[in-house]
Each structure stands twice: as structure tokens, then as C-alpha cells.
Amino acid sequence: MKNKLAFLKTKQNALLLTSFATVCTLAVSLTHMWTAPLIEQQKQIAVLNSLNELLDPAKFDNNPLLNCTKLSVPKITGSDLPQTFYRATLNGQPYATVFQTRTEQGYNGLIELLVAIDNNGVVQGTRTLTHQETPGLGDKIELAKSDWILSFNQKSVRSEDDDKWNVKKDGGRFDQFTGATITPRAIVKQLRQSVFQAQQNFDNIFASPNDCLASSNKQNQSLTAKENSDE
Ligand SMILES: Cc1cc2nc3c(=O)[nH]c(=O)nc-3n(C[C@H](O)[C@H](O)[C@H](O)COP(=O)(O)O)c2cc1C
């Protein structure tokens, strides 16, 4: 009798624990579902804000937000998925492309960057879009914390193993941070490959069809459809 009672109690506890775990998993999944689009939206806003900072306004006369192409070039973007390449032109001639690239070699994994290069492969600017690096150590990659990310301005990459594109500790030209070499090393390495490959593919990036117009037309169409249905 005593054994049966103990068995029932254990079974009851197990059931309770399972239900609790299920509820928690559900809560985490729902939170992720709700916040993922918001995080993506914030990232897009950061991209749009930075885009104007990276490009020299005297050097282009189009709206790069309406001139972009989606390409799957993992060697440039670090991603297998198609990524957007914005294109800035002057009198219809290519000036610069702005795109996202990413590395998972950060101290805490993924770091996402925005990069602009001109038609000579010269970096016009870079910004860190997202990261999980340690505050006070690796987070100096944010412009709000230090101007380290500006050290790539006006630099170009001669080859995929251009030895200048390393942190100073590894014989290159870019500073590491005190007690934190992993984060800057990851970014320098990613930018070395990404900038070089973007320079090699610059003409293809500008020759590809404009996907921005299609998506802005789609947005306009859905807005018009919504306005009509609201009437
Ligand atoms: C809690 C903790 C957090 C750390 N966070 C970072 C980081 O965000 N970025 C980084 O490069 N190194 C970070 N480090 C240091 C690395 O473990 C590693 O020692 C360092 O990057 C190597 O740089 P050094 O060769 O200049 O010492 C952290 C270390 C600890 C203990």
C-alpha cells in the first residue's frame, strides 16, 4: 500500500514537471515568435540609418533604397541566403554598393556588419549591426563605444590573404582591444574576405536586376489595396 502511494506521488510529480516544462517551452517559443519580426525590423532601421552615414552624399545622385539587388554570395555575405546589395550611382554610373556580412567567430558567436565599398574596392565605411560581445571588452566594435570600426575607412584589400588585414598582434594594421583579441580578429578576417570578394564581383552586383523596385511596387500595391478596402 505504502509502495503504491509512493508510486502515485512520483507519477503525479512527473506529470506536474512535464506540464511545467511544456508551458515554459511554449512561452519561450511564443516570445520568440512575437519578438523575431520586431528584432528584424529594428535591424532594418539600423541598416537604413547607417546607409546614409556610410556613403559620401557628393558622390551619388540616386536613392540606393530604390536600387538594390538580392544575391546569394556566401563569400561576400557569410550567409547562404540571398542578401540585399544597395547600389549608389552618379549620373547612372556605379559609385558604391552597401551590403551586410556576418561572422560567427565572435567571442559570443554571431556578429553582423554593414559594409560600403566603392567602384575601386575602397571601403567607404562599416558599422556593427548586431553582436553579443562582452560589454567593456568586445563591444568596442560599436561606434557608440569606440571609433575602432572607422579604422577600415578608405582601406582596400589586395588579395584574400592580404597580410595587412590582420590585427596588429597577428602582424596586421588593425588594433586589437586590451585583453580582447578574438572579437576584432573575427571582424578583420570577415571584412578581408568580404571586401575582396565584393570588389571582384562589383560589376556583377551592378549588372543584376533591380529587386527594390519590385518590392517597393508590391508594397505600394498592397498599400493601395488596403486603402481601397478601407474606403
Ligand atoms: C568573461 C569573459 C568575457 C570575455 N569576452 C571577450 C569578448 O567579448 N571579446 C574578446 O575578444 N575577448 C573576450 N574575452 C577574452 C578572451 O577569452 C581572450 O582571452 C582574449 O580575446 C584574447 O585576447 P588577448 O590575446 O589580447 O589576451 C573574455 C574573457 C572572459 C573571461
Structure-block grid coordinates of residue 217: 511596387
Q: All 3 cell numbers of residue 138? A: 568586445
The per-residue pLDDT for 215 is: 58
Provide the whole-model pTM. Answer: 0.80
Q: Is the pLDDT of residue 231 over 70?
A: no
* Confidence bin at 222 (pLDDT 50/70/90): very low
**Do residues 80 and 190 share a domain?**
yes
Q: How far apart are CA 72 and CA 57, in angstroms?
A: 28
Q: Is residue 188 part of a domain?
A: yes
- Mark whether 20 and 62 lie in a shared domain: no
Q: 212-231: string of b/e by CB count within 10 Å (b at 16+)?
A: beeeeeeeeeeeeeeeeeee
Q: Are residues 75 and 122 in the same domain?
A: yes
Phi, psi of 119 (to 5 degrees): -70, -5
Map residue 231 onto helix, strand or coil.
coil
State the distance from the centre of ligand 1 to the C-alpha of 180, rounded, in angstroms. 4
Regarding whether 42 and 149 lie in a shared domain, the answer is: no
Q: Kindly report the backbone phi and psi dihedral angles of residue 193, in degrees, each rounded to the nearest multiple of 5, phi listed first.
A: -70, -45
Last residue of a domain, one of 10, 35, 54: 54
Mean pLDDT of 166-187: 98
Same domain assignment for residues 126 and 108 = yes
C-alpha of residue 162 to centroid of ligand 1, in Å:
25
The ligand 1 atom nearest the CA atom of 178? 26
77 CA → ligand 1 middle, Å = 25
Distance CA 192, CA 78 (A): 12
**Count of structural domains within the chain:** 2
pLDDT digits (tens, 9 = 90+) for 91-141: 999 999 999 999 999 999 999 999 999 999 999 999 999 999 999 999 999
Determine the distance separating the centroid of ligand 1 and the alpha carbon of 179, expressed in angstroms: 6
Cβ neighbour number for residue 137 with a 10 Å cutoff? 14
* Chain segment 17-68, per-residue pLDDT in tens: 778 777 767 876 776 677 777 777 777 777 777 888 899 999 999 999 899 9
Task: Report CA 146 to chain centroid distance, whole Å.
Answer: 19
Pocket of ligand 1 (CB under 6 A): 107, 133-134, 137-138, 176, 179-183
Range of the domain at 146: 55-213
Give the position of cell 571582424: 187
> Quick one: which atom of ligand 1 is closest to the CA of 176?
26
User: In whole angstroms, what is the distance from residue 68 CA to residue 88 CA?
Assistant: 9
The owner of cell 551590403 is 99
